[in-house]
Amino acid sequence: MSTDFFERQATAHRHTGRLVWLFCLAVIGIVAASWLVAFLAVDYVEASNAAHGRPNPPGLAMVPLYVAIASALLILLGTLYKIVELRGGGSVVAEQVGGRLLHHNTSKAAERRLLNVVEEMALASGVPVPPVYLLESEESINAFAAGYSPSDAVIGVTRGTVEKLSREQLQGVIAHEFSHILNGDMRLNIKLIGVLNGILLLGLIGAILFRVAALSGSGSSRKNGGAGLVLLLVALAVFILGYLGTFMGSLIKAAVSRQREFLADSSAVQFTRNPAGLAGALKNIGAKLQGSLVKHPHAAEASHMFFAQGIQVGFTSLLATHPPLKQRILAIDPGWDGKFPTTASSQATATAPATATATPVAATAATAVPAAMGLVGQQQAAAPAQPVADVAGAPGQVGNPTPDHHLYAAQLIRSLPDQLTAAAHEAYGARAVIYSLLLDQDPKIRDRQLQTLDQHSTPDVVKLTRQLIPIVDALDMHTRLPLVDMTLPALRSMSTAQYRTFVSCFQELVAADEQLELFEWILHHILLRHLKPQFERVRPARVVYYGLQRLGEPCSVLFSSLAQVGHTDDQAAIAFAAAKGVLDDVPLQLLDSSDCDLPQLQSALDQLAQVAIKQKERLINAAAACIAADQEVSVREAELLRAISDTLDCHMPPLLPGESIAPVAAAGSAQPVKTS
Amino acid sequence: MSAMSAILIALLVIGGIILLLIILFISTYNRLVTLRNRFQNGFSQIEVQLKRRYDLIPNLIETAKGYMAHERETLEAVIQARNQAAGGLQTASANPGNPQAMQALSGAEQLLTGALGKFFALSEAYPDLKANQNMMQLSEEITTTENKVAFARQAYNDAVTSYNTYRQTFPPIVIAGMVGHGQNAELLDFDSEQIAEAPKVSFT
């Protein structure tokens, strides 16, 4: 299994493609079979009519066609309906299985610990922090990730998981769920469930028709030329085909799901570099009587998204959505003796044997820790340039956060003043945090902005914003975007009316200084991108371009903008050339800064979001090469890179500041080093 | 038209209608559940803030005790109102949207707000208390928490309104009663004619 994000995404896409075809074949087969059954039934009725000298009713010959069309429509309808429903977002799924949204100011320490683990993990992988739902009445150990994209993803956790696992084990479970989010598994699953639902609907309707036909047929069937009999047979056949189709479909779905689970396990281990945590969680499931089964009636719909087998399956392991527990444990902990801990709950803190070495622990991991610590106390004025090595490796880190990122994220959260984190964690204060981030450095403009805020917002929010100003001003610039990520779950809990007010205030603030600044644009872009799906209907980006050759214009805008940020004109030319070196088959032209303003950059990015995943990899490689061309990376460049990769749905872990992981000299060449 | 094809077409049409009805039923039901979950989650946000408020009040009274020895009645009234409101919150959080529970909570909250208002008004007469660092912090935090409650309450009320509106529109109203969504959820309103204003605290 590949360790490269783009490869994994591409695999997920290929899988989806292949499966959708397989399912299409199955649907065509089912429709054809229903036609055939109807045809045979009609044939039989015709023959028996001829034998008894009865005339054939006209229109009889058309019955097979009607049946085929009806079943095709049914499947299509059922599929579309389910897909539309599931696209409602992860929160809908989480609420349907009985989840309760968790808040940061909960009084229960275990719940706060869970929220902290999720937050650290999200910041380390560069995705918006997902809301966390607790399945309160579930004693078992299980968790799931749901949603269509990282923007509307949520994480659901059973109470058993929160209470019975140690922090390390919890981390393993959450990392597993994050890799589902990052690997594009959720999208694949939604399509699969959709088609399965369509086929299931066919079976259901068949069953209903069969009953109706059997009832009406028993009374007066003989006289109408066997129409009742035909209907009865056809309904029976549709019923059988529907259920058979569902069964076969479930087999396919379960097989794919099992494979994705192994992948998620290995990604989780790679992420935390702590096989013991994940293995410990799995062992705890094995030791528990209640195991991982989830009782809620809607659990079956989300069964493939769970951390471990969530529903009881019948006679065969072929239908299991998860690989057998023992196999999973052995895959990450080969030294396991096959025994589950006996007193599992007291075992919570002691974890698996230290011999577990599924992934080679990078020798550099330990040395990077002080680097992450270096973050605290760096002031904005000093806004340090980063060594190139970090950025050069960045494309390889997309979707592949490392323990260093994890440490960095934890450190970063701790470095933020309490007042700020407290505000960011609830909707009321989160708005003030965002407003204060938008304020300009220039006191004149700032005054104007605050006046605008006075007019458009309530006095208490303005007051809170004013209180936050000194704190936000003193922040390290690196922490600005992670801070925005932190506010997202709180902002998502606003009502639609509150969201509208918030967005209009936001836009007024941006407009108040009469010029669109780069950071304002980035903030606007990231915030709306991740908030919109919650409140408005958004079309998910579709792959339209499989190559970059026809996209010379948007690429030119993108790389010209990148080259001009933080570079002088001469350097810009060099930086642009570096990007051009990566994308040698694309007609690129260095544009004047007047020709690539932010609105143009926006539309260029929107267009580039529609390219296939492998091409996105090239774009990000080129972007990294571009900003690294002058051997240093400013915060502005790093933020822009983050915004760009975010638009392309490639979530990039934060660039680690301070001393580099690899010696700078080794990365002297501007060519990005692809780590895989 | 023969009997055969007439029957067939009729059956297909009926089947189609049944199918549409089933889909309509399921999607309406799911929508109702989603909307209810949404306002229930909205209530849990109010709950978090109210709890915080109820936790702060005893500290406030404890701080004031030393200065306001002669106002025992007022202090006790605040504590009593606080306990009552905390009880009301407990019932309400078990049953968000329930009219009785919501009205009980809002009544208790109004009482508490009134008692606090009186307390703060009286405290104006004690300059030492006003200058107390602890007191200043606590009353500031209580005000902030009240603002947070107001914001969360607005989100909750928005969610309740959209649930009620959806429930009363045409297709849902037919099935809402059958599937346990027969009652409007209750808005949460803490303001009344008598006590229109939140307690004003000024320490200048």
B3 occurs within a structural domain? no
Tokens of A67: 């049946």
Identify which has the larger pLDDT, A225 or A150: A150
Arithmetic mean of pLDDT over chain B: 84
B111 occurs within a structural domain? yes
Percentage of residues in chain A having pLDDT higher than 70:
80
Does A86 share its domain with A177? no
Question: With bands split at pLDDT 50, 70 and 90, how would you rate the model's confidence at A118?
Answer: very high
Contacts of B5 in chain A (CB under 8 A): 57-60, 62
Contact B38 A95 (CB under 8 A): yes
Question: With bands split at pLDDT 50, 70 and 90, how would you rate the model's confidence at B163?
Answer: very high
Percentage of residues in chain B having pLDDT higher than 70:
90
Q: CA A539 to CA A167: how far, in whole Å?
A: 37
Show the 3-state SS of A187-225.
Answer: HHHHHHHHHHHHHHHHHHHHHHHHHHHHHHHHHHCHHHC
Contact A66 B8 (CB under 8 A): yes
pLDDT tens digit sequence for A18-50: 776 777 787 788 888 878 887 887 888 788 778
Angle at A646 between CA A428 and CA A80, to 5 degrees: 85
pLDDT tens digit sequence for A165-216: 888 899 999 999 988 888 777 777 777 777 777 777 777 777 777 777 677 6
Does A464 share its domain with A571? yes
pLDDT tens digit sequence for A278-316: 888 888 887 765 567 777 766 666 666 677 777 665 545
pLDDT of residue A426: 85
Please say whether the beta carbons of A559 and A579 come within 8 A.
yes
B192 occurs within a structural domain? no
Q: CA A320 to CA A386: how far, in whole Å?
A: 48
pLDDT at position B99 over 50: yes
Which of A307, A323, A348 is a domain's end point? A348
| Helix, strand, or coil (residue A369) | helix
Does A419 share its domain with A271? no
pLDDT at position A425 over 50: yes
A39 occurs within a structural domain? yes
pLDDT at position A9 over 50: yes
pLDDT of residue B156: 93
pTM: 0.77
Structural domain span for residue B126: 32-176
Supply the DSSP symbol for A675: -
Does A21 share its domain with A82? yes
pLDDT of residue B192: 55
pLDDT of residue A356: 35
Q: So what's the ipTM on this one?
A: 0.80
Beta-carbon contacts of residue B196 (< 8 Å; ≥ 6 apart): none
Contacts of B147 in chain A (CB under 8 A): 428, 460
Q: Which residue of A has its CA nearest to B43?
A: A101
Does A78 share its domain with A151? no
pLDDT at position A667 over 60: no
**Mean pLDDT, rounded, for A559-587:** 82
C-alpha closest to that of A97 among A145, A132, A135: A135
B15 occurs within a structural domain? no
Q: For chain A, say whether B8 makes contact (Cβ under 8 Å).
A: yes
**Mean pLDDT, rounded, for A627-641:** 80
Beta-carbon contacts of residue A158 (< 8 Å; ≥ 6 apart): A134, A135, A138, A139, A140, A141, A142, A143, A294
Structural domain span for residue A208: 13-90+188-247
Beta-carbon contacts of residue B83 (< 8 Å; ≥ 6 apart): none
User: Count of domains in chain B?
Assistant: 1
Show which residues on chain A lie within 8 Å of chain B, measured between beta carbons: 57-60, 62-63, 66, 70, 74, 77, 81, 85, 88, 92, 95-96, 100-101, 103, 105-107, 201, 205, 208-209, 212, 224-225, 227, 231, 426-429, 460, 464, 493-498
**Mean pLDDT, rounded, for A357-385:** 36
pLDDT at position A97 over 60: yes
Does A475 share its domain with A495? yes
A97 occurs within a structural domain? no
pLDDT tens digit sequence for B100-124: 899 999 999 999 999 998 898 888 8
Question: With bands split at pLDDT 50, 70 and 90, how would you rate the model's confidence at A67?
Answer: confident
Question: With bands split at pLDDT 50, 70 and 90, how would you rate the model's confidence at B57?
Answer: very high
pLDDT of residue A227: 61
pLDDT of residue A378: 34
pLDDT at position A585 over 70: yes
Which of A348, A378, A398 is a domain's end point? A348
pLDDT at position A377 over 60: no
Does A621 share its domain with A567? yes
Q: What is the DSSP string of chain B?
A: --HHHHHHHHHHHHHHHHHHHHHHHHHHHHHHHHHHHHHHHHHHHHHHHHHHHHHHHHHHHHHHHTT-GGGHHHHHHHHHHHHHHHHHHHHHHHSTT-HHHHHHHHHHHHHHHHHHHHHHHHHTT-HHHHH-HHHHHHHHHHHHHHHHHHHHHHHHHHHHHHHHHHHHSHHHHHHHTTTT--SPPPP-----STT-SPPP----
Q: For chain A, say whether B151 makes contact (Cβ under 8 Å).
A: yes
pLDDT of residue B79: 92
A215 occurs within a structural domain? yes
Indicate the residue of A85, A460, A495 with minimum beta-carbon distance to B30. A85
pLDDT of residue A564: 82
pLDDT of residue A28: 84
Going by their DSSP bridges, the two strands A154-158 and A132-135 should be labelled as parallel
Beta-carbon contacts of residue A432 (< 8 Å; ≥ 6 apart): A423, A461, A464, A465, A467, A468
Query: Is A659 among the residues known to form the active site?
Result: no
Contact B33 A205 (CB under 8 A): no
pLDDT of residue A531: 87
Does A274 share its domain with A237? no
Q: CA A399 to CA A35: how far, in whole Å?
A: 47
B2 occurs within a structural domain? no
Q: For chain A, say whether B31 makes contact (Cβ under 8 Å).
A: no
Arithmetic mean of pLDDT over chain A: 76
Residues in chain B: 204
Return the minimum-mean-pLDDT range out of A85-89, A129-133, A176-180, A602-606: A85-89
pLDDT of residue A668: 34
Does A675 share its domain with A655? yes
Contacts of B144 in chain A (CB under 8 A): 460, 464
Identify which has the larger pLDDT, B72 or A105: B72
pLDDT of residue A388: 47
Question: With bands split at pLDDT 50, 70 and 90, how would you rate the model's confidence at B4?
Answer: low
Beta-carbon contacts of residue B105 (< 8 Å; ≥ 6 apart): B85, B88, B89, B91, B92, B188
Question: With bands split at pLDDT 50, 70 and 90, how would you rate the model's confidence at A382?
Answer: very low
Contacts of A60 in chain B (CB under 8 A): 4-5
pLDDT tens digit sequence for A458-507: 888 888 888 898 988 888 888 888 899 899 988 988 888 899 999 999 88
Does A487 share its domain with A566? yes
Q: Residue-wise over A426-439: b if at least 16 C-beta within 10 A, else e?
A: bbbbbbbbbbbbbb
B46 occurs within a structural domain? yes
Which of A348, A378, A409 is a domain's end point? A348
Question: With bands split at pLDDT 50, 70 and 90, how would you rate the model's confidence at B174?
Answer: confident
**Residue B65, domain CATH:** 1.20.1440.20
pLDDT at position B19 over 80: no
Question: With bands split at pLDDT 50, 70 and 90, how would you rate the model's confidence at B197?
Answer: very low
A657 occurs within a structural domain? yes
Q: CA A449 to CA A443: how far, in whole Å?
A: 10
C-alpha closest to that of A506 among A435, A449, A430, A437: A435
A126 occurs within a structural domain? no
Identify which has the larger pLDDT, A335 or B181: B181
pLDDT of residue A228: 66
Percentage of residues in chain A having pLDDT higher than 90:
5
Q: Å from B165 to nearest chain A CA?
A: 15
**Mean pLDDT, rounded, for A153-161:** 90
Q: Å from A195 to nearest chain B CA?
A: 16
Question: With bands split at pLDDT 50, 70 and 90, how would you rate the model's confidence at B85?
Answer: very high
pLDDT of residue B86: 92
Question: With bands split at pLDDT 50, 70 and 90, how would you rate the model's confidence at A127?
Answer: confident
A85 occurs within a structural domain? yes
User: Count of domains in chain A?
Assistant: 3
Does A138 share its domain with A215? no
B20 occurs within a structural domain? no
Question: With bands split at pLDDT 50, 70 and 90, how would you rate the model's confidence at A66?
Answer: confident
Q: CA A296 to CA A399: how far, in whole Å?
A: 32
pLDDT of residue A345: 44
pLDDT of residue B89: 92
B1 occurs within a structural domain? no
Please say whether the beta carbons of A22 and A195 come within 8 A.
no
Supply the DSSP symbol for A545: B
pLDDT tens digit sequence for B38-49: 898 889 889 988
**Mean pLDDT, rounded, for A130-159:** 88
